Chains A and B, each alone.
Chain A
Amino acid sequence: KAGVTQTPRYLIKTRGQQVTLSCSPISGHRSVSWYQQTPGQGLQFLFEYFSETQRNKGNFPGRFSGRQFSNSRSEMNVSTLELGDSALYLCASSPRLRDRAYEQYFGPGTRLTVT
């Protein structure tokens, strides 16, 4: 079974621009979560989508948004990029099945650099 895929893997943007990152979960998984990983703050939760609805949201500004499509694929968008948004953005999918509701499997991430 294919794992979580994220595109693009690397991205360089300029301050003020916006960016869209894409995530395809493991086949059959209906939940997608996004995390930001930085050396200083570690891994921090951004938001979770399940059945095209945002179910949870972390403590990030409104510049960070996301959505999920009917095929469970998800995108996240960051508008008006700031230097501090440089990070590895990780997508995690979960089966959300009764006995495996908790498990989350991560993709390789998208490395975003803001200059």
Chain B
Amino acid sequence: GENVEQHPSTLSVQEGDSAVIKCTYSDSASNYFPWYKQELGKGPQLIIDIRSNVGEKKDQRIAVTLNKTAKHFSLHITETQPEDSAVYFCAASMGWGNTPLVFGKGTRLSVIA
């Protein structure tokens, strides 16, 4: 089955700097890659996603890139703010009909003011 590796497990950045979180997946059949942000006491919040027919997607300060050949995808957060501090999870799925998300172990991001 699918296996998703996520690095780093913890990340500390100064406010205003960029943060990058990387994930690799094992199953080339996976074609949907969402990223979730989980704050303390809350459920994961979908912040951005990318499908295998797209190489990059941006939404304001957040961007995701996908390299299908290498089977890895990354989350980029620019101009980080203290409210970006949370645990971030990447996931992979084969999409419709096989929708279970397989998650990475998470990255705890701390943005230091």
Contact = CB atoms under 8 A, between A and B. Distances in A.
A105 interface: yes
A102 B95 contact: yes
B5 to A, nearest CB: 12
A64 B113 CA distance: 44
A89 to B, nearest CB: 10
A50 to B, nearest CB: 9
The interface size bin for chain B is: 20 to 34
Interface string B20-43: 000000000000101010000111
Given A102-B49, A104-B34, A104-B46, A43 B100 contact: no
B102 interface: yes
Nearest to A104: B101
A21 interface: no
Interface of B: 32, 34, 36, 41-46, 49, 51, 89, 91, 93, 95-106
Nearest to B102: A45
Contacts of B101: 33, 35, 43, 45, 92, 104
Contacts of B98: 56
Chain A facing B: main interface SS: strand
B4 to A, nearest CB: 10
Interface in A32-53: 33, 35, 42-45, 48
B43 A90 contact: yes
Residue among A42, A104, A107 with most chain B CB within 10 A: A104
Given A43-B103, A55-B97, A106-B46, 12 more contacts: A4-B43, A33-B99, A33-B101, A43-B91, A45-B100, A101-B96, A102-B34, A104-B99, A106-B36, A106-B45, A108-B41, A108-B43
12 contacts: A42-B106, A58-B100, A90-B44, A96-B96, A101-B95, A102-B49, A102-B95, A102-B99, A103-B46, A104-B46, A104-B101, A106-B46
